Amino acid sequence: MKRKLGYLFANLMALYFLISGISVLFDVPAKLKRIDLSAINSDGEIAFILIYTGLMTGIGVACLLLQYFSRTWVYSAFLATTIIASFIVFRIVGSIMLGSLSSTQTSFLAFEFIELTIGILLLSKESKLCSCSKK
C-alpha cells in the first residue's frame, strides 16, 4: 500500500508540474494576471514562458525519467518534495523582502505545505532512503 501511495504521489506531482508548465502556453496573459504579474511587452511574455514553462515542465519530465530509470518512486518524489520545499522557502523570503504576503501567495503556500507534508511522510516511511547509509 505504501508503495502504491508513493507512486501515486510521484506521478501526481510530475503531472502537476507538467500541466502547470504547459498550461501557460495556452493563455500567457491570464497566467500572469492570476499570479499578479504583468509583462511590459512580448519579450517579457516570452521570458516568462521560458522561465516558468521551462522550469515546471523540466521538473515534471525529470520526475518521470527518474522514476523510469531508477524503477522506484523514491527519487522522483524526493525531487518533487525538494522543489516544493524550495518554492515555500523562497515564497516566504520574497514576502519578507517585500514586506507583505498576498492572498494569492497565501493560497499557494497552503497547498505547497500540504504537498510537502505528504511527500515528507511518504519518504520518511520508505526504507530505500536509509539503505544507502547502511552499505
132 is a domain residue? no
Q: And the C-alpha cell for 93? A: 523570503
Give domain status of residue 43, yes or no.
yes
Determine, yes or no, domain membership for 134.
no
CB atoms within 10 A of CB 99: 6
> Is residue 6 a part of any domain in this protein?
yes
For every one of its 135 residues, what pLDDT tens digit does the chain have, with 9 covering 90 and above? 778 999 999 999 999 999 999 988 888 888 788 777 777 888 888 888 888 899 999 999 999 999 999 999 999 999 999 999 999 999 999 889 988 888 888 998 999 999 999 999 999 988 655 555 444
Position 31 scores a pLDDT of: 79
> Which pLDDT value is given to residue 135?
46
CA distance 79 to 84: 9
Q: In angstroms, rounded to a whole number, what is the distance separating the alpha carbons of residues 112 and 88?
A: 7
* Alpha carbon distance 129, 98 (integer Å): 38
How far, in Å, CA of 130 to CA of 135, rounded? Answer: 10
Residue 123 burial (CB count, 10 A): 18
Predicted confidence at residue 6, as pLDDT, reads 93
Count of domains in the chain?
Answer: 1
Q: What distances in angstroms separate CA 133 from CA 3, 37, 119, 127, one per listed residue?
A: 21, 45, 21, 11
Looking at residue 10, what DSSP letter applies? H
Task: Please count the other Cβ atoms lying within 10 Å of the Cβ belonging to residue 63.
Answer: 26
| Structural domain boundaries enclosing 123 | 2-127
